[in-house]
A and B are shown apart, each in its own frame.
Chain A
């Protein structure tokens, strides 16, 4: 328990101590809202698909959550370079506890980041359907964050330096984001595209957020959450196993 708490608290403290990073990571979501939300909004509406900002807001919240949570997992690489990794490697606690604490810490901070983006979208005119939905959406955001923090952590245990980071962003995270239905509705795309979306784990996280915030969705909430949580646990165990094999 102690190990989980400590690793979680550490991530939170580090997050709180870099306000510049918090503000900087609001830049990209803002750009998406402006360029897509206001740029494509009229076209979207003209096509009879409704208010684009309402459609987009959950997607951008999901985007911000996954980008920050993948990055938080890959923090492990910095720990390796700056030495703190060794402190955790020799600690007499279970590897799963260390990894669980880290993932929990990374997902807490990226969920906070997601909440900031949600507030930003509200400031830009987005109105969630119900206020209770917002609370539930934060919970769903946390499960999504957990999944991608575990994924980032698994990568962190496998990579020696940050040089692989752009590779991961460009060939894994960005495709996952764009294919997930975060920025366009899945019920109007070709079936091949839909198939790609179905095997993209982010699709279910976006879908859950959209259901809770706007009331419309492709899958049931049960499907969304079970896919997200099951995959999270698998990735957490893989990350813990890979961590226990790490050498310095």
Chain B
């Protein structure tokens, strides 16, 4: 097996703040990989750099063999992403959001209809396909976002806290779909989550990041053994401590969080 994501000494500085200090990580093709860490540890920042929407201060990255900084187009062809916060157009219907995505990603017309149908069915939004997204609840938007991320069947799929705010039914449903996709097409799954039992159950490999650097890497068993813990949750706490973190963020981030708080 070869590495489909390679990161060496990645670093991102925002003014005086080092959001990502030194991340070195490698993900094998076809792996299901969990990227764990407390709030503000640098997970989302790392994902943003891997997915070409943020430029690193220093370090080297390869996604599907391409450099996100200099070969962004080739990298963008390789992945799908479910962002941590909404990236839907709320003035369009669920169906339109799906269809526009499919066209942007060059999914053929016949295939498009069928896949949109399957995926909207799968997230139980098919009956609401012609409703404007602004009328959806937080959970429904999340489901639509996930369905859209899966639409073009990418080689690598990034999911930044995909299950946040989802009920256990939908969560299980989503993971079995992703596991199936992984088995059928060898899709690499790279995800972050705060649910440790989810990571333990789903991920084959795990990296734990704290204060912008990787503190541990391995399978769930290895991490437990390394910290002589019974569960991944204990191992996680042993590695990252018990302090509660404050998430740094600008005004925009605060506004978004506020919006989220109101929605749920």
Set B55, B76, B85, B91: member contacting A92, Cβ < 8 A:
B76
Q: Judge whether B106 is part of the interface by a CB distance below 8 angstroms.
A: yes
Which 6 A-B pairs have CB atoms at the shortest separation, nearest pair first?
A: A92-B76, A83-B87, A92-B77, A86-B87, A2-B103, A83-B86
A7 to B137, CA, bound (A): 25
Contact B52 A89 (CB under 8 A): yes
- Decide yes or no: A248 and B104 within 8 Å by CB, A81-B252, A82-B90, A83-B85 being known contacts: no
Chain A contacts of B48 at CB under 8 A? 247-248
Contact B91 A90 (CB under 8 A): no
Contact A84 B89 (CB under 8 A): yes
Chain B contacts of A85 at CB under 8 A? 87
Which residues does A use to contact B, with CB under 8 Å?
Answer: 2-3, 5-6, 9-10, 13-14, 17, 79, 81-94, 160-161, 246-248
Chain B contacts of A2 at CB under 8 A? 103-104, 106
A79 to B90, CA, bound (A): 10
Contact B105 A83 (CB under 8 A): no
Contact A90 B252 (CB under 8 A): no
A229 to B103, CA, bound (A): 29
A17 to B91, CA, bound (A): 8
In whole Å, how far is B186's beta carbon from the nearest beta carbon of chain A?
A: 20
Mask, B92-106, CB within 8 Å of A = 1, is 100010001101111
Chain A contacts of B52 at CB under 8 A? 89-90
Q: Judge whether B81 is part of the interface by a CB distance below 8 angstroms.
A: yes
A205 to B239, CA, bound (A): 65
In whole Å, how far is A128's beta carbon from the nearest beta carbon of chain B?
A: 35
Contact A160 B104 (CB under 8 A): no
Q: Judge whether B248 is part of the interface by a CB distance below 8 angstroms.
A: no
Contact B96 A13 (CB under 8 A): yes
A90 to B52, CA, bound (A): 7
Chain A contacts of B91 at CB under 8 A? 13-14, 17
B49-67 interface (Cβ within 8 A of A): 51-55
- Decide yes or no: A10 and B89 within 8 Å by CB, A81-B252, A248-B48 being known contacts: yes
Chain A contacts of B252 at CB under 8 A? 81, 160-161
In whole Å, how far is B58's beta carbon from the nearest beta carbon of chain A?
A: 16
Contact B77 A90 (CB under 8 A): no
- Decide yes or no: A5 and B103 within 8 Å by CB, A10-B92, A13-B92, A86-B53 being known contacts: yes
Set A6, A81, A86: member contacting B104, Cβ < 8 A:
A6
A85 to B106, CA, bound (A): 19
29 contacts between A and B (CB under 8 A): A2-B103, A2-B104, A2-B106, A3-B103, A6-B104, A10-B89, A10-B92, A10-B96, A13-B91, A13-B92, A13-B96, A81-B252, A82-B89, A83-B83, A83-B87, A86-B53, A87-B101, A87-B104, A90-B52, A91-B76, A91-B105, A92-B73, A92-B104, A92-B105, A247-B48, A247-B53, A247-B54, A247-B55, A248-B54
A204 to B98, CA, bound (A): 41
CB-CB nearest in chain B for A9? B100
Q: Judge whether B88 is part of the interface by a CB distance below 8 angstroms.
A: yes
Most buried by B among A9, A82, A92: A92
Chain A contacts of B86 at CB under 8 A? 82-83
Chain B contacts of A84 at CB under 8 A? 87-89
A79 to B103, CA, bound (A): 19
Mask, B104-148, CB within 8 Å of A = 1, is 111000000000000000000000000010000000000000000
In whole Å, how far is A123's beta carbon from the nearest beta carbon of chain B?
A: 30
- Decide yes or no: A91 and B104 within 8 Å by CB, A14-B91, A84-B89 being known contacts: yes
Chain B contacts of A161 at CB under 8 A? 252
In whole Å, how far is A49's beta carbon from the nearest beta carbon of chain B?
A: 45
Chain A contacts of B73 at CB under 8 A? 92, 94
